[in-house]
Amino acid sequence: MSDTSTTTGTLRADTAAMAAAADRIAGLSEHAEHAAAAVGDAAGFDLRPVFGCVGGEFVASCDAAQSRHREALISLAGLIRDVADTAHATAGAYADAERRAADALAALR
């Protein structure tokens, strides 16, 4: 019985770890959505108001928009990397849980 109890506790811990990873992925996805919106805002800036500006002001406006776009893309890339890392860790946790479940079943036989 002690083996079964230990295995059950391990499986519960694995399940909790996978739930925490799923929550983290959901949070990162939300951040990625915000970053993607920022990219859209930066990429879709309206040039019409600056067409009447003197050349230097127009260039400064474009440079600022490109800088915001670049920062948003870097942020988005970092979030995507975090999501991929978390997904990889989650896959590992699932694989570990499957191995432990198989070991538990084998021990019960």
Distance separating alpha carbons of residues 41 and 34, to the nearest angstrom: 10
Compute the radius of gyration of the chain from its Cα atoms: 24
pLDDT tens, residue by residue, 97-106: 888 888 887 8
Would you say the pTM of this structure is higher than 0.85?
Answer: no
| Structural domain span for residue 87 | 2-108
pLDDT tens, residue by residue, 50-76: 444 445 555 566 666 667 777 777 777
Total tally of structural domains belonging to the chain: 1
